[in-house]
């Protein structure tokens, strides 16, 4: 497997761990039971820490000009998880912004 493909796979892993971590941190704010709240919070923080190590590895093997535009897709995944898992409202203006990020990431990443 070449370095670029490995780097892209690591960016995807980074996006997944960051998304699940962020969603769990948000979910922990909604839980009233103190022990369950702490468990969900620690899980979210642990995933965020793992994401930092994955991202550090990405920086070693990919150019920043490739990695950073790819990481913007995390915003899209977090918004989708917020909409469907946390049942948050996402307005039309935010969807337009998400599509702008999507197309911008594709344009910058493919050049």
Closest C-alpha among 101, 71, 88, 105 to residue 23: 88
pTM: 0.86
Tokens of 77: 């995944």
Per-residue pLDDT of 44-53, as tens digits, reads 999 999 999 9
Per-residue pLDDT of 53-84, as tens digits, reads 999 999 999 988 888 888 888 888 999 999 99
Structural domain spans, the chain: 3-110
In whole angstroms, what is the distance from residue 73 CA to residue 11 CA? 10
Query: Ramachandran region of residue 53, left (φ > 0), alpha (ψ -120 to 50) or beta?
Result: alpha
In whole angstroms, what is the distance from residue 107 CA to residue 84 CA? 27
Per-residue pLDDT of 6-49, as tens digits, reads 998 999 999 999 999 999 999 999 999 999 999 999 999 999 99
User: Looking at residue 73, what is its pLDDT?
Assistant: 87
């Amino acid at each position: 497997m070449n370095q670029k493909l490995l780097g892209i796979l690591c960016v995807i892993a980074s996006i997944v761990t960051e998304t699940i971590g962020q969603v769990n941190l948000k979910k922990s704010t909604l839980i009233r039971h103190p022990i369950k709240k702490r468990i969900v919070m620690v899980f979210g923080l642990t995933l965020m820490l793992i994401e930092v190590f994955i991202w550090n590895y990405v920086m070693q093997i990919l150019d920043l000009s490739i990695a950073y535009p790819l990481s913007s897709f995390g915003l899209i995944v977090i918004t989708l998880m917020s909409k469907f898992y946390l049942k948050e409202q996402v307005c039309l203006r935010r969807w337009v912004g998400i599509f702008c990020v999507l197309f911008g990431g594709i344009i910058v990443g493919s050049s």
